[in-house]
Amino acid sequence: MADLSAYDNRDYDPGAGLVRRALWYLVNAVFFASWLHLGSRFKCALLRAFGAALGAGVVIKPRVNIKQPWRLAAGDHVWIGEGAWLDNLAPIALGSHVCISQGAYLVTGSHDYTDPAFALIVKPIAVEDGAWIGARALVCPGVTVGAAAVLTAGSVLSRDAEPGGVYRGNPAEKVRERRIRPAPGGGG
């Protein structure tokens, strides 16, 4: 049986000092996790001030929760939908043209269920260029979502997704290849 009184995460490094973390938690609660919609440019400026590496054209909707911005990297034209949660105890890297839909949850931390003290385990997440994480989908620690892959709404991805694959279910399984139509007028 687990003995949660023995839990000890003193070896975990949050990547920032106590004052910086406390200040971020306040900023996150007021400007990100709230219903206030103050514009993505303002939110991106705050994230950059706390150490996030963000490209151009990043869109951040209301009620987004980002645990540690200093562990967030996002390319150009990334969309983070309303109510998304980036629970990044370890780095989360989002490529360019990535869509994280409403209520999606990217979690980098878990626990060792074989350890009586329930030791903390953290692993990074990578979402490569052009990938789409559907509404209320869950991406587990240590997962890479390949370029242009899709995780459909409500699905749970606990292992890597191949580039261009469409994944559905719990656990998410590949159901087809993603086919993107040519842009009108023959471009792109």
Pairing of strands 132-133, 150-151: parallel
What range defines the domain where residue 43 resides?
17-175
Q: For residue 2, tell me if it sits in a domain.
A: no
Split into its structural domains, the chain has a count of 1
Q: For residue 75, tell me if it sits in a domain.
A: yes
Q: For residue 32, tell me if it sits in a domain.
A: yes
Q: For residue 187, tell me if it sits in a domain.
A: no
Q: How does pLDDT run across 64-115, given as a tens digit for each residue? A: 999 999 999 999 999 999 999 999 999 999 999 999 999 999 999 999 999 9
User: What pLDDT shows up at residue 85?
Assistant: 98
Q: For residue 37, tell me if it sits in a domain.
A: yes
Q: For residue 185, tell me if it sits in a domain.
A: no
Q: Whole-angstrom Cα distance, residue 22 to residue 68?
A: 11
Q: What's the pTM value of the predicted model, to 2 decimals?
A: 0.93
Q: What is the CATH number of the domain that holds 149?
A: 2.160.10.10
Q: For residue 54, tell me if it sits in a domain.
A: yes
Q: How does pLDDT run across 4-51, given as a tens digit for each residue? A: 999 988 899 999 999 999 999 999 999 999 988 889 999 999 999 999
